[in-house]
C-alpha cells in the first residue's frame, strides 16, 4: 500500500471552533458589527452558516444526554459570534441576556467541578461582554 493515500478520517472532517470563527471574522473585518445584519442571500454568508451549523450539530451530538456537556455546548454556541468579533451594542446586550438564562440553568453544585467551571466561564464571559459594551459606549 505504499504510495497510496488513505481516505481522510472522520476526525479530519470535523469542523473546529476556529473554523467557525474564521468563517464569520471576514465579515467583521469588512466592517459588519452585528451578525443580525448579515445578508442571508449572500453565498459567503450561507457558506459561513453551513460551517456553523455543522459545528453546532457536532457539539450537540457529542453532548448527547450528558447535561454538563449540553450546557457547555450551549455556552459555546451562545458566544461564538462574540468570539468572531461582532461588537454591536444591541447584539451584545442580547448575548448577555442569553448568558444570564444559561447561568440560571446551571445548578450550583460545589461537588461537580464541571458545573463550577462552567458557572465561572459564563460569569467571565458576561464580565468581558459588559466591558466591551462599556468600551463601545465610551468611544
Is 10 part of any domain?
no
Number of H helices, E strands in the chain: 5, 0
Helix 113-138 to helix 89-105 angle (10° resolution) is 160
How does DSSP classify residue 11?
Answer: G
The domain of 113 spans: 15-138
Is 125 part of any domain?
yes
pTM given for the model = 0.83
Question: Among candidates 15, 16, 35, 13, which has minimal Cα distance to 24?
Answer: 35
Tens digits of residue pLDDT in 75-117: 999 999 999 999 999 999 999 999 999 888 888 887 889 999 9
Total number of domains constituting the chain: 1
Is 68 part of any domain?
yes
- 97 grid coordinates: 441576556
pLDDT, position 2: 42
Q: Is the pLDDT of residue 119 over 60?
A: yes
- Which residue has better confidence, 70 or 3? 70
Tens digits of residue pLDDT in 6-65: 334 445 589 999 999 999 999 999 999 999 999 999 999 999 999 999 999 999 999 999
Q: Is the pLDDT of residue 133 over 80?
A: yes
Specify burial of residue 96 (Cβ count, 10 A radius: 0-12, 13-18, 19+).
Answer: middle
Is 2 part of any domain?
no
Is 7 part of any domain?
no
pLDDT, position 9: 41
Is 103 part of any domain?
yes
Is 86 part of any domain?
yes
Amino acid at each position: 500500500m505504499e504510495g497510496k493515500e488513505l481516505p481522510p478520517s472522520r476526525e479530519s472532517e470535523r469542523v473546529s471552533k476556529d473554523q467557525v470563527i474564521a468563517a464569520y471574522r471576514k465579515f467583521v473585518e469588512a466592517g459588519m458589527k452585528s451578525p443580525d445584519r448579515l445578508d442571508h442571500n449572500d453565498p459567503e454568508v450561507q457558506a459561513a452558516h453551513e460551517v456553523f451549523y455543522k459545528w453546532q450539530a457536532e457539539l450537540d451530538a457529542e453532548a448527547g444526554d450528558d447535561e454538563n456537556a449540553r450546557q457547555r455546548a450551549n455556552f459555546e454556541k451562545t458566544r461564538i459570534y462574540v468570539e468572531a468579533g461582532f461588537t454591536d451594542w444591541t447584539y451584545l446586550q442580547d448575548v448577555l441576556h442569553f448568558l444570564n438564562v444559561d447561568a440560571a440553568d446551571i445548578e450550583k453544585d460545589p461537588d461537580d467541578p464541571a458545573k463550577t467551571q462552567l458557572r465561572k466561564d459564563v460569569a467571565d464571559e458576561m464580565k468581558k461582554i459588559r466591558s466591551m459594551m462599556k468600551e463601545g459606549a465610551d468611544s
